[in-house]
Chains A and B, each alone.
Chain A
Amino acid sequence: MKAQMEILGLVVVIVLILLGLLLFVSFNLNTNEPKPLKNDFIKTQMAQNYINTLMDTTSSCNNMQISKLASECENIHLGFGSNVNCDDGLNPCSEIIKIANITLKDALGMYAYRFSFGIDKGYESEWGNVSSDAFRMDAMTVGSGKAVLPSKIPGQSLYFRLDINR
């Protein structure tokens, strides 16, 4: 009788331990945790908002908008040259990169975003690029934005693209 009681006690202890483990595992495997909203918003909105805002921005280069400077930049790459001379001696392509550098660092860098910004023409080589030091494409929260501008060459377009993560 006493041995039976001892065994019963052991069974109760084992059941309690199993119950504890079950609760621990179920808490840790709980998949109903809310997703980080800010990261979702960054993924879907932030990069595109940045590109849209940049396209609108009036540069110090003859008060031209960035989207217009991009057209001049294309002229240079097509070999037509450009009549636009910026005050600081930069050509339109360099002017865009200069402004992107300033705005990216202040608009994204100071809020701990990492970024990679580039201008290119479809699959051709990049015309300009600005990246933060620690940008990694494989980071978990990657957001992308793109602006496509019409090109002088039919069927081709200029691409402004921004990838960000945190």
Chain B
Amino acid sequence: MKHAQIQMFETTMVLLIFFIIVGFGLIFYSNYMHQQVEKNRKHVEDLNAIDVALVAMNLPEIACTVSSVMENDIVIKPGCVDMRKVEAFSDYLANNPEELGSYYFDRLQYSKIMLNEIYPEKKAFVVYSYSGLKHNEHNSSFYVPVSMYWPDKDTYSFGVMEVTLMQ
């Protein structure tokens, strides 16, 4: 009787230790998978933020244009925004908020695009802002230096385009 009890106790202990080891393994694996999912999510968010920043920089609505070598042709000047166009674009979006959720949403998603003038003056301009019903749990920001062209003065300011993507 006593021998059988000892054997039962031994079996129980072996099973207990086995399940503890399996439990630790599961905890370790779930933590690892959680980290991997977080990394992948950050990767996709960064990709989207860069994508939106590049689209915003090259939007014909705000980009600078220069004459091309071809006669009667104009092309977008890379890395440059025309501040008069930016003002007109912001006014247009303010007067036509339905565009935020349709045409521009396809290109700029849930994001806030700002132009921060650094030199010669320090000013900030909101180009586009649409958060929809997002609670801003995961924001991904991206910054790109841009020339800000003032056509009335024919001068270029140094600025940074700040794109915050709400995901």
Contacts and interface: CB of A to CB of B under 8 A. Distances in A.
A14 interface: no
A111 B43 contact: no
Contacts of B25: 20, 23
Interface in A82-127: 99, 102-103, 106-107, 111
- The A contact surface, by secondary structure, is helix
Nearest to B33: A27
Contact of A37 (B50, B79, B146): B50
Contact of B119 (A27, A38, A57): A57
Contacts of A148: none
A60 B153 CA distance: 13
A103 B160 CA distance: 10
Q: What is the size category of the interface that chain A forms with chain B?
A: 20 to 34
B157 A58 contact: yes
Interface string A42-58: 00011001101110111
B46 A37 contact: yes
24 contacts: A23-B29, A33-B39, A34-B39, A37-B43, A37-B46, A37-B47, A46-B144, A49-B146, A52-B147, A53-B145, A53-B147, A53-B158, A54-B145, A54-B158, A56-B79, A57-B119, A57-B147, A99-B119, A99-B158, A102-B118, A103-B119, A103-B145, A106-B119, A111-B143
Interface of B: 14, 21, 25, 28-29, 32, 39-40, 43, 46-47, 50, 78-80, 118-120, 122, 142-147, 155-160
